[in-house]
Structure 1
Amino acid sequence: MILYDYILSPDAYKIRLMAALVGVKLELRAVDVHPGREHESEALRALNPAGSIPILIDGDLILTESAAMLVCLARLAAPAWLGGNDVADAARIQQWLAFSLRLTDHLGGARATEMLVEPGDLPALQAAGTIDLRELEAALTERRIIGQTFLVADRPTIADIACFPYVALAPDGGLSLDPYPSIRLWMRAIRMLPGFIEMPGIHRLHELKPEPVSQLPETV
């Protein structure tokens, strides 16, 4: 498998991370996104007319959407990452994959504006990103109430990998994760998975801070 990759792309990192977690070897081809804009070149637009990264090629199969790449890698090497045969779990995974697009737009947009000096309305992106983080924090807190750490099941799925990078990189867009203990515990759980790999800004340890503690609501 060939991955057209950019080291600072959270979407490309999703694919590198997923491949590492399920034991699939990728041939990485670095793309000069900043400042070279190589992803907009004629050669790469022939593979992906949208002019975006990553691009995954496996024989005659060319994938240009990260969610499809996650499904492909899981189906190929570790089907349990797809959530099993439960209809509800499969639907929840699809819902979180859709939610990850909001994270790309809002948290990713704030990061690109703040760190990469791309054009954008930073306050509006940060406000939308805060809403996303609060929604994710509430969902993960509900999961913890029933004794589970991950978004869909008692084990990680592609839903977790789809959402993880842009959340972990939220501080690059000026959004602190300190107010979200359930998110930080979830990120620690992902970092502890066998095979976890890092990218710039995402480390194995959560900034060497003590493990977050969150008081769960009392159940009646």
Structure 2
Amino acid sequence: MVRRKPNYDELLEKLEYQFQKPELLDEALTHVSAPKASGKSYQRLEFLGDRVLGLAIAETLYKTFPNAPEGELSRRLAELVRRESCAEIAIAWDVGPYLKLGAGEAHSGGRRNQTILADVCEAIIGAVFLDGGYEVAKALVERSFKALLETPRRPLRDPKSALQEWAQGRGLPPPTYTIAEQTGPDHAPKFRVMVKVKGTETEFGLGTSKRIAEQAAARSLLLREGIWTEDEHGTN
């Protein structure tokens, strides 16, 4: 019996790439549990793709945010290459139906498993790198991660760090935090903390610990000054 070659037309359309060596894509979609997958699962391509993704994202961030300090670039990089982000990209590519899985893995929901999806995302990037070179792989990363790069799913900085960086950027002294009030019993205290930045009005925050109250106060000041917006930072 002649084995039919898989039809990857829709997937290739989403990737906006045509493989010179289709077997690389086939390998990138093959889980180690798949029958006769020994030596041909996506694991090696995933290892390679992880490094290509990191370099491509780092280069893109460096060019896209020319005034961002190293710390912000590092946080953006970590957000973009984390498992959840890569799985989101794999879902956008709709790789699920194309995955080659063992029966047990398929029955246990492997086509929706975030770890598998994230690994396959990186494996496909690795396959494109081997097939077409770095520039082609970087273009795929830029296209696919564009929305996540422009609108991160999580705040890149905690409120205190963001407020301190903002103050430093304006040549101001660091914010100062003062406990304005402490209530409740020792085992369940509540804190009201005041934050002050030179040239701005005092802001307050509440929390079950000093740290939480300080973060709440910093967040309130960031929102009030328009440094953060409710749309992007509506929740802690």
User: What TM-score range do you get, normalising by the shorter chain?
Assistant: under 0.3
Higher relative contact order (CA 8 A, sep 6+): 1
Say which one has the larger Rg: 2
Query: Would you tell me which structure has more helix in proportion to its own residues?
Result: 2
Q: TM-score, normalised by structure 1?
A: 0.28
